[in-house]
């Protein structure tokens, strides 16, 4: 008999041998794993049918299959922008953080004594964001730019004392950010005014909760937001700037311009686009707003010996303590990605970051100059890295010509194309791009480039990344030693078992982590044409079908990028169901007291009133209390939210 290797992955990944399992089963009085499951799971809910999903394959066969799937993705040169850019993750970070279980298997740092390394890197991330934005305080990351902007509106609403229900959003924000804000604010009956910050903001009557402005705008144009910020303040609102972190190396800080909150994405600091995620967003504000902030904040304290010690600070704002009264349902956010972005800033330092920013802007300026010489008109002459061209009746021809040459441009509308430059672009690629626009012009290395595209009154003069950590580790050797020192301050799966929690990466096998480093998965832009992404579509389809089979549901969304976001999405679906049935008053959500803190926090964000169901000491629901509460709130009952198995 030839041994079947299809199940060897389970043994290698989980660990216990047949002999080990036999001893454990004997100790607890079970004859087999099946017997243990039958004794554990109540008969009425025990699944007896076999799941209709693919048969297992060996680890090596699975890797081969995934590689074949990955090669279905077509890798085009991307100039789409819209908040996502190609970047280089330094190899020292790729090897020592991204591919290192000492970093990616560590648990949430609730126990600071075994998490000082991660806490230091998250503190570095916060300092990096504070330096670029000029704000007093920053959190340790959020999920993405769009939800960070929505969280900023949430903060503004919590602090609003004028009972206003109006929010102004500049039409220059990225469309995905506007869409998320629409979803997140609709439940509270807030009125969104989307328009031109120079013209329409003045016409808004009365007070507003806040104004959201993009700096630079989605089409790349740099406008001075100072006047718009002043108008927002005169209407007693908070001014929120959605920023590009790299652009802030060359542009005045949000604080200098008078903003109250700065949000954005740190993706272009060394994080691959990965067809849309994950990436670490940032959120920074003034010190006076800190108790209304969402997300983790890492603070500096002292231990019992008086030595410096780091810990999570102001935790009473968070869902695991405040539950439905929390500032957000955000839980672990994007710690690993925030750590990588902080590492990128540490490795390059202020000089390196400035050189990257300047080089990108010079490429954009050189391209813009040659395009104008070729007879095209620009949407704006003020930009950092994104040039938008009025292509008029040539738009479709140029766009299709780009696709034929393996290039993705942003098709803004039938009259405009947008081109975003990034760290991976160079003179050769820029000259290829000029040919796509049928330009006879070309750029050479010796030509002097003056960055007149960045307005003088908005040019940054203040310093950034002045802390020693950003000025000490610029060689691979120094960086490796620093990261190793931090890793040695933590406990992760490479040191011992971690008996805490369920919703972390600590159970991801190495063979599951390797494919995320492959270019075919690593590089695609989230807004690349779907026909170029057959590999991703294949994976999504398979995963959706498996989840349908496992859950028994017909509809599956892969969009939520965290467990708490999945809760929120589910509650929003329930809310929509009741609205479709004209049950507008159904807004009560029953949640057991043993539930994870994100449950009540998510319900509150979905506009629901949380009613707590009592539980016993083991976390089991008190059915008598459940029945009483269900009857008491029967006319307004919207949902019962149960963690299964319980927390």
Note the pLDDT tens digit of each residue in 500-521: 665 555 577 888 889 999 999 9
Quick one: the chain helix, strand, coil %, rounded to 5?
45, 15, 40
CB count within 10 Å of CB 502 equals: 10
Examine the domain organization and report whether 226 and 335 are in the same domain.
yes
* Average pLDDT of the chain, as a whole number: 92
Can you tell me the mean pLDDT for 172-176? 97
Higher pLDDT, 312 or 373: 373
Q: What is the CATH number of the domain that holds 603?
A: 3.40.50
Examine the domain organization and report whether 187 and 334 are in the same domain.
yes
Examine the domain organization and report whether 276 and 417 are in the same domain.
no
Pick the last residue of a domain from 316, 345, 374: 345
Residue 611 is assigned to a structural domain of this protein: yes
pLDDT at 208: 97
Residue 480 is assigned to a structural domain of this protein: no
Can you tell me the mean pLDDT for 390-415? 98
* Residue 497 pLDDT > 90: no
What's the total number of domains in the chain? 4
What would the pLDDT profile of 426-446 be if each residue is shown by its tens digit?
A: 999 999 999 999 999 999 888
Per-residue 3-state assignment (H helix, E strand, C coil) for 318-334: CHHHHHHHCCCCCCCCC
Can you tell me the mean pLDDT for 174-195? 94
Pick the last residue of a domain from 407, 431, 456: 456
Ranges of H-type helices in 374-515: 395-404, 427-436, 476-487, 510-513
Pick the last residue of a domain from 345, 374, 408: 345
Percent of the chain having pLDDT more than 70?
96
pLDDT at 107: 78
Residue 510 is assigned to a structural domain of this protein: no
pLDDT at 620: 87
Alpha-carbon gap, residue 219 to 170, rounded angstroms: 12
Alpha-carbon gap, residue 626 to 641, rounded angstroms: 12
Alpha-carbon gap, residue 251 to 70, rounded angstroms: 39
pLDDT at 505: 53
* Residue 321 pLDDT > 70: no
In the structure, what pLDDT confidence band is assigned to residue 277 with cuts at 50, 70 and 90? confident
212 neighbors 170 (Cβ within 8 angstroms): yes
Examine the domain organization and report whether 387 and 425 are in the same domain.
yes
pLDDT at 176: 97
pLDDT at 408: 98
367 neighbors 387 (Cβ within 8 angstroms): yes
**Concatenated DSSP letters of 500-568:** S-SSSGGG--HHHHGGGGSHHHHS--TTS-GGGBHHHHHHHHHHHHHHHHHH--S-------SHHHHHH
Per the structure, the complete domain to which residue 415 belongs is given by 356-456
Can you tell me the mean pLDDT for 517-526? 96
pLDDT at 194: 97
Q: Which two tokens stand for residue 377?
A: 């008109």
Examine the domain organization and report whether 179 and 289 are in the same domain.
yes
Can you tell me the mean pLDDT for 350-369? 98
Residue 516 is assigned to a structural domain of this protein: no
Examine the domain organization and report whether 361 and 341 are in the same domain.
no
Rg of the Cα trace of the chain? 26
pLDDT at 23: 95
pLDDT at 317: 61
**Highest-pLDDT range among 97-106, 462-471, 605-614:** 462-471
Examine the domain organization and report whether 320 and 365 are in the same domain.
no
Please tell me the number of Cα atoms within 13 Å of 324 on its side-chain side: 17
What would the pLDDT profile of 33-70 be if each residue is shown by its tens digit?
A: 999 999 999 899 898 888 998 888 888 899 999 999 99
pLDDT at 135: 98
What would the pLDDT profile of 563-586 be if each residue is shown by its tens digit?
A: 888 999 999 999 999 999 999 999
Residue 350 is assigned to a structural domain of this protein: no
Examine the domain organization and report whether 275 and 390 are in the same domain.
no
Residue 518 is assigned to a structural domain of this protein: no
Q: What is the CATH number of the domain that holds 440?
A: 3.90.1150.10
Can you tell me the mean pLDDT for 75-90? 97
Consecutive H or E run containing 604: helix 598-605
pLDDT at 111: 84
In the structure, what pLDDT confidence band is assigned to residue 562 with cuts at 50, 70 and 90? confident
Indicate the pTM of the whole model.
0.94
* Residue 3 pLDDT > 70: no
Beta strands in 308-434 (DSSP E): 308-312, 377-378, 386-390, 407-408, 410-413, 416-420
Residue 555 is assigned to a structural domain of this protein: no
What would the pLDDT profile of 220-264 be if each residue is shown by its tens digit?
A: 999 999 999 999 999 999 999 999 999 999 999 999 999 999 999
pLDDT at 313: 84
Examine the domain organization and report whether 312 and 414 are in the same domain.
no
Flag the least confident range among 7-21, 168-182, 210-224. 7-21
Examine the domain organization and report whether 579 and 610 are in the same domain.
yes
Please tell me the number of Cα atoms within 13 Å of 410 on its side-chain side: 25
Percent of the chain having pLDDT more than 90?
75
Q: What is the CATH number of the domain that holds 115?
A: 3.40.640.10
Examine the domain organization and report whether 166 and 218 are in the same domain.
yes
In the structure, what pLDDT confidence band is assigned to residue 122 with cuts at 50, 70 and 90? very high
Examine the domain organization and report whether 202 and 310 are in the same domain.
yes
Residue 230 is assigned to a structural domain of this protein: yes
């Amino acid at each position: 008999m030839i041994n079947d290797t299809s199940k060897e992955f389970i043994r290698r990944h989980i660990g216990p041998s047949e002999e080990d399992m036999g001893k454990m089963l004997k100790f607890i009085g079970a004859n087999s794993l099946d017997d243990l499951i039958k004794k554990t799971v109540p008969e009425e809910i025990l699944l007896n049918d076999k799941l209709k999903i693919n048969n297992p394959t060996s680890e090596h066969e699975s890797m081969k299959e995934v590689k074949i799937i990955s090669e279905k993705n077509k890798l085009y040169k991307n100039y789409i922008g819209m908040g996502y850019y190609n970047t280089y993750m330094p190899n020292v970070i790729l090897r020592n953080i991204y591919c290192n279980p000492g970093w990616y298997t560590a648990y949430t740092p609730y126990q600071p004594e075994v998490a000082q390394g991660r806490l230091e890197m998250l503190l570095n991330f916060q300092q990096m964001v504070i330096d670029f934005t000029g704000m007093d305080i920053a959190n340790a990351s959020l999920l993405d730019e769009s939800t960070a902007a929505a969280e900023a509106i949430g903060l503004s609403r919590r602090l609003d004392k004028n009972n206003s229900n109006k929010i102004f959003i500049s039409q220059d924000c990225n469309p995905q950010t506007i869409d998320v804000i629409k979803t997140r604010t609709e439940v509270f009956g807030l009125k969104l005014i989307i328009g031109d910050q120079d013209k329409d903001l003045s016409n808004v009557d009365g007070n507003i909760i806040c104004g959201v402005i993009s700096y630079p705008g989605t089409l790349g144009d740099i406008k001075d937001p100072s006047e718009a910020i002043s108008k927002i303040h005169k209407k007693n609102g908070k001014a929120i700037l959605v920023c590009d972190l790299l652009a802030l190396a060359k542009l005045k800080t949000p604080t200098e311009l008078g903003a109250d909150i700065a949000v954005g994405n740190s993706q272009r600091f060394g994080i691959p686009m990965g067809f849309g995620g994950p990436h670490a967003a940032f959120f920074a504000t003034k010190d006076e707003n800190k108790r209304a902030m969402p997300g983790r904040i890492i603070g500096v304290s002292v231990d019992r010996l008086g030595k410096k010690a780091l810990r999570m600070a102001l935790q009473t704002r968070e869902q695991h303590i405040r539950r439905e009264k929390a500032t957000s349902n955000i839980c672990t956010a994007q710690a690993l990605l925030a750590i990588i972005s902080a590492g990128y800033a540490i490795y390059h330092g202020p000089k390196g970051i400035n050189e990257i920013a300047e080089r990108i802007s010079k490429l954009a300026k050189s391209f813009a100059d040659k395009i104008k010489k070729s007879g095209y008109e620009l949407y704006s002459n003020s930009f950092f890295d994104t040039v938008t061209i009025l292509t008029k009746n040539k738009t479709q021809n140029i766009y299709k010509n780009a696709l034929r040459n393996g290039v993705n441009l942003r098709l803004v509308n039938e009259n405009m194309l947008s081109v975003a430059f990034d760290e991976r672009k160079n003179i050769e690629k820029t000259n290829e791009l000029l040919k796509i626009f049928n330009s006879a012009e070309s750029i050479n290395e010796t030509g002097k480039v003056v960055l007149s595209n960045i307005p003088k009154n908005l040019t940054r003069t203040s310093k950034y990344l002045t802390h020693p950590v950003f000025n000490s580790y610029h060689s691979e050797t120094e960086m490796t030693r620093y990261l190793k020192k931090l890793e040695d301050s933590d406990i992760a799966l490479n040191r011992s078992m971690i008996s805490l929690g369920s919703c972390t990466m600590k159970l991801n096998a190495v063979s599951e982590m390797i494919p995320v480093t492959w270019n075919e998965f690593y590089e695609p832009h989230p807004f690349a044409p779907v026909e170029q992404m057959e590999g991703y579509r294949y994976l999504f389809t398979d995963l959706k079908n498996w989840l349908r089979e496992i859950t028994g549901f017909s509809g599956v969304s892969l969009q939520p990028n965290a467990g708490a976001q999945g809760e929120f999405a589910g509650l929003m679906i329930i809310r929509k169901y009741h609205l479709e049935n004209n049950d507008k008053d159904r807004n009560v959500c029953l949640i057991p007291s043993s539930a994870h803190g994100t449950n009540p926090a998510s319900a509150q964000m979905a506009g629901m009133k949380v009613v707590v169901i009592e539980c016993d000491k083991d976390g089991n629901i008190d059915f008598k209390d459940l029945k009483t509460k269900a009857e008491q709130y029967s006319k307004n009952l919207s949902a019962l939210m149960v963690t299964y198995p319980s927390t």
